[in-house]
Amino acid sequence: MRNIQPYTIVDRIGILTDTFTAATTDICTQSAHGLKNGDPVVLTTSDTLPAGLSLATVYYIIEASTNTFKLSLTKPQSYTTGGGLPPVPVVDITDTGTGNHTYTMHDIGNNINVDDFRHCIVTVDGDDSANIDLGFVGSIGKSATSDDAPDFSAAATHLNQWAFVEIIGYINGTAVDGSAAQVSQTGTNAHTMYEININGMKWLNILMSGWSAGNVTVRCRLYND
């Protein structure tokens, strides 16, 4: 076995959602929000979002503290507040908007480029009394003319090509067919492991279809033999 590469698809993710307020200092506030730096969120509102923020846009949490956070359009790879790599750009919020504003964790993980590998083992780990459903999704490219990653959270079309993929359980070799809820991860410290045939595939990810509690971490190891 050689060329083994580990990747994290999601790290302690739960579909958290709550209301928040935003200030012209770019600080968003919600008591005990539970979000972490790097978490992806989308925003909705009952009226008008604060200027600088948009609907149907994925933002990433940065500078998270217990009760506040900021938003960025750039996913932080190594976020620091002093020294090391520079922080990612903060969204400039220029007014507080009107109505009630809501953040919701985005329902997909990190797109993993599996183009150079033949085999994939994935692990699904639950904590904090996890109760979440997810399915594995794959793609050979966004369209017939683009091998970019599709938007897995949008409907599959000829211009946004993806599908759920079959996985094989290590515990008994049972095949689990593609669906929006292939894996139901429940319980604290729950752990499952699967194999996925990625021959010819370009992109791998997960799509979360249900959540009621806790968090889940999904990792994959890619290799050629």
Average pLDDT over residues 113-133: 89
For residue 85, CA distances in Å to 28, 77, 82, 88, 198 come to: 23, 9, 9, 9, 34
CB of 117 closer than 8 Å to CB of 223: yes
pLDDT of 62-109, one tens digit each? Answer: 999 999 999 999 887 654 444 445 678 999 999 999 999 999 988 888
The predicted pLDDT at position 180 comes to 65
pLDDT at residue 1 is higher than 60: no
pLDDT of 22-64, one tens digit each? Answer: 999 999 999 999 898 888 899 999 999 999 999 989 899 999 9
Tell me the torsion sign for CA atoms 50, 53, 59, 62. negative
* Distance in angstroms (rounded) separating the CA atoms of residues 212 and 24: 33
The predicted pLDDT at position 113 comes to 95
* Distance in angstroms (rounded) separating the CA atoms of residues 18 and 70: 15
Of the pLDDT bands very low, low, confident and very high (cuts 50, 70, 90), residue 127 is: confident
Side chain identity at residue 33, one-letter code: H
What tokens were used for 123? 């692990």
DSSP letters along the chain, please? -EEEEEEEEEEEE---EEEEEE-TTS-EE-TT----TT-EEEEEESSBPPTT--SS--EEEES--SSEEEEESS--SS--SSSSSPPPPPP---S--BS-EEEEE-SB---EE-TT-SEEEEEEEEEEEEEEEEEEEEES-SBTTB-SPP-TTSPPBTTB--EE--EEETTT--EE---TTSEEEESTT-EEEEEEE-TT--EEEEEEEEEEEEEEEEEEEEEE-
pLDDT of 175-216, one tens digit each? Answer: 887 776 678 877 778 898 999 999 899 999 998 887 778 888
What tokens were used for 196? 């996925």
The predicted pLDDT at position 178 comes to 72
Task: Please state the pTM of the whole predicted model.
Answer: 0.76
